[in-house]
Structure 1
Amino acid sequence: MIQFQNILDSLAIGWVFVTFLIIAVLVSEVGYRFGYWLQNRTRDEKEGPTSMIVGSLLALMAFLLAISMGMAADRFNRRRSLVLEEANSIGTTYLRAGYLPEPASAEVRNLIRAYVPLRIVSDKLEGVNESISQSSEIQDKLWSIAEELARNNPESQVLALFIESLNQTIDLHEMRIVAGIYSRVPQSILLLLIAGSLLTLAAMGYNSGLMQKRSSTSAVLMILVLGAVITLVVDLDRPQDGLVNVDQRALIDLQEQIGTPGLIKNP
Structure 2
Amino acid sequence: MAHWGNQMLGIAGLAVLSSLGLFVGMLLAIEVGRRLGIRSQADEQKTDRAAAGLIDGAVFGLMGLLIAFTFSGAASRLDHRRDLVISEANAIGTAYLRLNLLPADKQSPLRDLFRQYLDARLDVFQKLPDMAAAEAGLLRANQLQSQIWPMAVEACQLSGSVPATTLLLSALNEMFDMANLRTTTSRVMHPPPVIFIMLFVLALLSSLLAGYSMGNSRDNNRFHVIGFAAIIAVTVYVILDIEYPRAGLIRVDAVDQVLMELRSSMQ
TM-score (norm 2): 0.86
Cα offset, 1:169, TM superposition: 0.6
Q: Is the 8 A contact 1:13 1:231 kept in 2?
A: yes
Residue of structure 1 aligned with 2:95, choices 81, 93, 101: 93
Residue of structure 1 aligned with 2:66, choices 45, 64, 67: 64
Summarize deviations over 1:176-201 as a string: whole Å, max 9, x none: 01211110122111111111111111
Amino acid at match of 2:259: L
What is the aligned partner in structure 1 of residue 76 from structure 2? 74
What is the aligned partner in structure 1 of residue 257 from structure 2? 249
Aligned-partner Cα distance in 2 for 1:6–1:39: 48
Q: Is the 8 A contact 1:72 1:233 kept in 2?
A: yes
Between 147-156 and 216-225, the greater mean CA deviation after superposition: 147-156
Aligned-partner Cα distance in 1 for 2:10–2:74: 15
Q: Tell me, which stretches of 5 or more residues in structure 1 are unaligned?
A: 260-267
What is the aligned partner in structure 1 of residue 46 from structure 2? 46
Identity of aligned residues (%): 25
Q: Tell me, which stretches of 5 or more residues in structure 2 are unaligned?
A: 1-6
Cα offset, 1:205, TM superposition: 0.9
RMSD: 2.2
Amino acid at match of 1:158: A
Q: What is the number of residues matched between the two proteins?
A: 253
Summarize deviations over 1:94-129 as a string: whole Å, max 9, x none: 222232224431111111111112222125262333
Aligned-partner Cα distance in 2 for 1:204–1:164: 60
Does residue 107 (structure 1) correspond to residue 109 (structure 2)? The answer is: yes
User: Runs of 4 or more off by more than 6 Å in structure 1?
Assistant: 5-8
Summarize deviations over 1:11-66 as a string: whole Å, max 9, x none: 165444333222222222222223223332x22x2124333222211111111111
Does residue 196 (structure 1) correspond to residue 198 (structure 2)? The answer is: no
Q: Is the 8 A contact 1:31 1:209 kept in 2?
A: yes
Does residue 182 (structure 1) correspond to residue 188 (structure 2)? The answer is: yes
Cα offset, 1:136, TM superposition: 1.3
Q: Is the 8 A contact 2:29 2:208 kept in 1?
A: yes
Does residue 124 (structure 1) correspond to residue 124 (structure 2)? The answer is: no
Aligned-partner Cα distance in 2 for 1:234–1:219: 23
Aligned-partner Cα distance in 2 for 1:6–1:137: 24
Aligned-partner Cα distance in 2 for 1:198–1:137: 49
Residue of structure 1 aligned with 2:32, choices 19, 30, 33: 30
Q: Is the 8 A contact 1:36 1:212 kept in 2?
A: no
Residue of structure 2 aligned with 1:147, choices 145, 153, 156: 153
Cα offset, 1:223, TM superposition: 1.3
Q: From the two aligned structures, give the one with the greater helix fraction.
A: 2
Aligned-partner Cα distance in 2 for 1:103–1:214: 81
Q: Is the 8 A contact 1:72 1:237 kept in 2?
A: yes
